[in-house]
Amino acid sequence: MLPITTGPAASRHDRAAFTLVELLVVIAIIGTLVGLLLPAVQSAREAARMSACGNNLKQIGTAILTYESTRQMFPLQNKNWVLKGLRTAPSNFQFWGCILPILPYVEEQSKYDDIISNMISSDIPPWQGLTSMTTSAPVFICPSDGLASAKKAKKSYLASFGDLMQGTSGGYKTRGIFISGNNGSSGVNAMVKLSHVTDGTSKTLLFSERCQGNGSGVDKSVKAGLAGGVATTRDSKPQLCLDQVVDNQLASTAASGYSCYRWLSNETINDVFHTILPPNGPSCSSGDTGANPSGMLTTVSSYHTAGVNTVFADTSVRFISDTIDAGNPNDTPIVPSGKNWYDYSAESQWGVWGAMGTKSGREASGGSSN
């Protein structure tokens, strides 16, 4: 018979469980480790989303340059189809923006063919009918914008209209690469070619980001909403739009949620931005805040940290900080007397950010990003 062991040795041998205090200590340690790990995981996921967003813009920039090489002109914000000879009068063709012409160059040839075929036969606008129109191509969606990703006919990227408050309707030129073309056959005079980018392709913007609106008549978020009833004519001070931000939201009772709502449409709210207010600032309209408001100042925005992705005319992708120099918003915009304002070739008054929006402003600092 084995001897029976008693005393301290037996107590140590028989003990098989943690005490409550020890268990709580282990749980606290695990909780601390998880708390340290989650931000790192979230940061890594956002870094991956941001990289994917940059890759999208790279593809878009490459497609635009390929289109220019093929057609000897950049795509227009409207009346592309008059210039191509598909129709002799603008009709509904004028409402199609610059994304449709580049679809074949982002591996969306079938979608392009389907839309063009129906455009020719029925002269439809870009918000009616076809599945091809109501479902956007993935390359035009930033994965960091969950709302845009969830919506079928939405997008995350807009074309640069430069440093002057000008909308896409009416057949006007801009100081940027993308212009809206003129009415009828005179549109041929509105073509912009790569040779016109005299500031240098590495200093001239093509596309950047904007957060998706909620698709309703009210969205007071600074990044995605649009404040209505604010003066946004060519001689309006940008500060008037900045003043709409109160307690980190838009103060306007008319704050539209239709930003980036129609992915193929040329409407200002859906297709272009201005290099006037720095990234993640407010956007404003002097008119109504419906799906196609008039008179707009559109500002780029994103859900990345403290800035936006952009692509330049050399197809380089750069992150632009929301602290970039954008001049003095209290300055009154210069509208040269006795000269077409879009032919104004002096340096932008909206700092480095404004310089990035001009194709021939003669600025030396257009390529800086901070």
Instruction: Assess contact for 282 and 252: CB atoms under 8 A.
Output: no
* Per-residue pLDDT tens digits for 169-216: 655 667 889 876 654 444 445 678 899 999 999 999 999 999 998 877
Instruction: Assess contact for 212 and 156: CB atoms under 8 A.
Output: yes
What average pLDDT does range 313-332 have in this prediction? 97
Residue 191: name the closest of 68, 23, 26, 350 by CA.
68
Q: Is 28 helix (H, G, I), strand (E, B) or coil?
A: helix
**Contact partners, residue 308, CB within 8 Å, separation at least 6:** 208, 209, 279, 280, 300, 301, 302, 319, 320, 322
What average pLDDT does range 60-72 have in this prediction? 95
Q: Residue 92 pLDDT more than 70?
A: yes
Q: Minimum mean pLDDT among 113-122, 294-303, 325-334: which range? A: 113-122
Task: Please report the pLDDT score of residue 327 as a whole number.
Answer: 97
Task: Please report the pLDDT score of residue 18 as a whole number.
Answer: 67
Q: Which helix (H) or strand (E) holds 269?
A: helix 268-271
Assign 292 a pLDDT band (cuts: 50, 70, 90).
low
Task: Please report the pLDDT score of residue 189 as a whole number.
Answer: 52
- From residue 271, alpha-carbon distances to 26, 76, 169, 260 in Å are 54, 11, 11, 7
Assign 369 a pLDDT band (cuts: 50, 70, 90).
very low
**Contact partners, residue 149, CB within 8 Å, separation at least 6:** 141, 142, 143
Task: Please report the pLDDT score of residue 293 as a whole number.
Answer: 55
Higher-scoring residue by pLDDT: 64, 294? 64
Q: Where do the structural domains in the chain lie, given as residue ranges?
A: 56-356
Q: Confirm whether pTM is higher than 0.75.
A: yes
Task: Please report the pLDDT score of residue 366 as a whole number.
Answer: 47
The percentage of residues in the chain with a pLDDT greater than 90, rounded to a whole number, is 41
Query: Scanning the structure block, which residue is given the tokens 């079938």?
Result: 110
What average pLDDT does range 335-339 have in this prediction? 62
Task: Please report the pLDDT score of residue 294 as a whole number.
Answer: 53
**Contact partners, residue 173, CB within 8 Å, separation at least 6:** 179, 180, 190, 340, 342, 343
CA angle, 85 then 91 then 94, to 5°: 75
What average pLDDT does range 60-78 have in this prediction? 92
Q: Is 197 helix (H, G, I), strand (E, B) or coil?
A: coil
Task: Please report the pLDDT score of residue 78 as a whole number.
Answer: 75
Task: Please report the pLDDT score of residue 129 as a whole number.
Answer: 60
Residue 281: name the closest of 237, 248, 247, 328 by CA.
248
Higher-scoring residue by pLDDT: 258, 338? 258
